[in-house]
Structure 1
Amino acid sequence: MEKLLEEFSIGLFFWQTVLFLALLFLLRKFAWKPILNAVNEREEGIKNALDSAEKAKLEMENLQADNQKLLKEARAEREVMLKEARDIKNKMIEDAKGEAQTEANKMITQAQAAIESEKKAAIAELKSQVADLSLEIAEKVVRTELSNKDKQLKLVETMLGEKSLN
Structure 2
Amino acid sequence: MDLVTPSIGLIFWQAILFILLFFLLAKFAWKPILRLIEDREEYLQASLRVAQKAQQEMNSLELEKEIWLKQSRAQRDLLLKETRTLSDQIIHQAKENAQNERHEILLQTKILIENQKKAALADIKNQVADLSISIAEKLLQKELKNDKEQEKLVSNLLADLKDFP
Q: CA deviation at 1:70?
A: 1.1
* Counterparts in 2 of 1:133 and 1:45: CA distance versus 1, 3 Å: same
* Counterparts in 2 of 1:161 and 1:135: CA distance versus 1, 3 Å: closer
1:135-154 Cα shifts (integer Å, max 9, x gaps): 333444455x36xxxx834x
Give the TM-score normalised by the residue count of structure 1.
0.80
Which blocks of at least 5 consecutive residues in structure 1 are unaligned? none
* Counterparts in 2 of 1:105 and 1:5: CA distance versus 1, 3 Å: closer
Give the TM-score normalised by the residue count of structure 2.
0.81
Q: CA deviation at 1:132?
A: 2.4
1:69-102 Cα shifts (integer Å, max 9, x gaps): 1111111112112212222222222222222222
Instruction: Name the structure 2 match of 1:45.
Output: 43
Q: CA deviation at 1:122?
A: 0.5
| Structural mapping, 1:115-130, within 5 Å | 115-130=113-128
| Structural mapping, 1:1-166, within 5 Å | 2-5=1-4, 8-142=6-140, 145=142, 152-153=145-146, 156-157=148-149, 160=152, 163=155
1:1-52 Cα shifts (integer Å, max 9, x gaps): x34146x433233222211210111011110111111111111111111121
What percentage of aligned pairs have identical amino acids?
43
Could you say what secondary structure the match of 1:4 adopts? Answer: coil
1:103-148 Cα shifts (integer Å, max 9, x gaps): 22121111111111100111111112222233333444455x36xx
- Output the amino acid matched with 1:90: D
Separation in 1, partners of 2:58, 2:46: 18
Separation in 1, partners of 2:155, 2:75: 100
RMSD between aligned alpha carbons? 2.6
